[in-house]
């Protein structure tokens, strides 16, 4: 079967979209003390590789940073959309963005502290 590119992109799986809510605790010196995060993964119409993607997201959520207190709650959501097929790498860049966003938020909210 040979499909047009736009049709192929509509019917084949994409990267796994996630809804994410998080809270990050910092000390006055800017050190991490806590991370509380909730993940909802859109698996599409089947769970093919979605559990592996969700596990990787939960296990790598802290990136290379140390959080003394961490809580991760993750769920897969079955939807009416085409199945999402995680290719290389599983949720790698998206999960690290969460940590960098929280660092940026802390820096901007306390920038007078750092000047």
Per-residue confidence at 115, pLDDT binned at 50, 70, 90?
very low
The pLDDT tens digits for 20-75 are: 888 888 888 888 899 899 989 888 888 878 888 888 888 888 777 788 999 999 99
Note the pLDDT of residue 73. 94
The pLDDT tens digits for 85-95 are: 655 455 556 66
Taking the C-alpha atoms of residue 87 and residue 13, their distance in angstroms, rounded to an integer, is: 10
Domains and CATH numbers, the chain: 19-97 (3.30.365.10)
Note the pLDDT of residue 95. 65
Show the tokens assigned to 54.
Answer: 């969700």
Taking CA atoms, 68 is separated from 2, 71, 84, 94, in Å, by 52, 10, 33, 22
Q: Which sign does the torsion angle of CA 58, 37, 75, 13 carry?
A: negative
């Amino acid at each position: 079967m040979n499909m047009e590119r736009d049709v192929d992109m509509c019917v084949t799986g994409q990267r796994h979209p996630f809804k994410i809510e998080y809270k990050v605790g910092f000390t006055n010196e800017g050190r991490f003390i806590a991370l509380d995060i909730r993940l909802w993964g859109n698996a599409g119409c089947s769970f093919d590789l979605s559990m592996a993607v969700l596990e990787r997201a939960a296990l790598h959520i802290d990136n290379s940073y140390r959080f003394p207190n961490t809580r991760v709650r993750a769920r897969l959501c079955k939807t009416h959309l085409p199945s999402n097929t995680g290719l290389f790498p599983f949720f790698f860049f998206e999960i690290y963005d969460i940590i960098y966003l929280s660092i940026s938020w802390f820096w901007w909210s306390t920038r007078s502290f750092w000047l």
